[in-house]
A and B are shown apart, each in its own frame.
Chain A
């Protein structure tokens, strides 16, 4: 079945860039998402990319997609303490999650002062 893999933890120093990686197995993935979850909260959409794109930039966030290798990454520039959270990669074959989003287990981003 479909699978999304992420490393569980990433530790970075405040002010450095964070790069969170994700791999997926579904060849028909059309939409790829990054969500952020803070303790006790729901999921906040950070950004998403269509499978026909290689890169998308939105302020401090840069998403890179290597469709051949089924690899997605999220780069957060100038990481701040407020970026400390769990980051989920997700994929879907259709927009609006009509067939359900498949999520990874999440990457805990830890910020060191």
Chain B
């Protein structure tokens, strides 16, 4: 049973560029959340998607946007990249009847 899968695992961008990260939830899960983990910090909540809509959002600017597809997979888009966007981006999935999140291994973004 595959868990949460994310792609790509690593990528390098330059300031001002745009990036798209992808996530496939664990089988049976329909809700996807995204977190940003800067070096030496705990993860910070970006937003959560359920039924193809953004349900909750953390304290992140509009440059961060997302999408959920009918198969429950999700994308995180970041526009106008800043050096400070360099981080590990974690995707987590759950279902409406569960109390816990299952995390993927993350996508490490480096902005130069």
Chain A residues in the interface with B (C-beta under 8 A): 4, 31, 33, 35, 40-45, 48, 88, 90, 95-106
Contacts and interface: CB of A to CB of B under 8 A. Distances in A.
B72 interface: no
Contacts of A4: 42
A24 B43 CA distance: 16
Contacts of B1: none
A42 B101 contact: no
Contact of B58 (A31, A45, A100): A100
B48 A45 contact: no
Interface in B79-110: 90, 92, 94-96, 98-106
Given A88-B42, A96-B101, 11 more contacts: A33-B100, A35-B103, A40-B105, A42-B106, A43-B103, A95-B98, A100-B33, A101-B35, A101-B43, A101-B101, A103-B42
B interface bracket (residues with beta carbon within 8 Å of A) = 20 to 34
Interface string B25-50: 00000010101000011111100100
A98 to B, nearest CB: 6
B95 A96 contact: yes
Nearest to B96: A96
5 contacts: A35-B103, A42-B105, A96-B31, A96-B95, A101-B35
A91 to B, nearest CB: 11
A23 to B, nearest CB: 14
Given A33-B100, A96-B95, A106 B31 contact: no
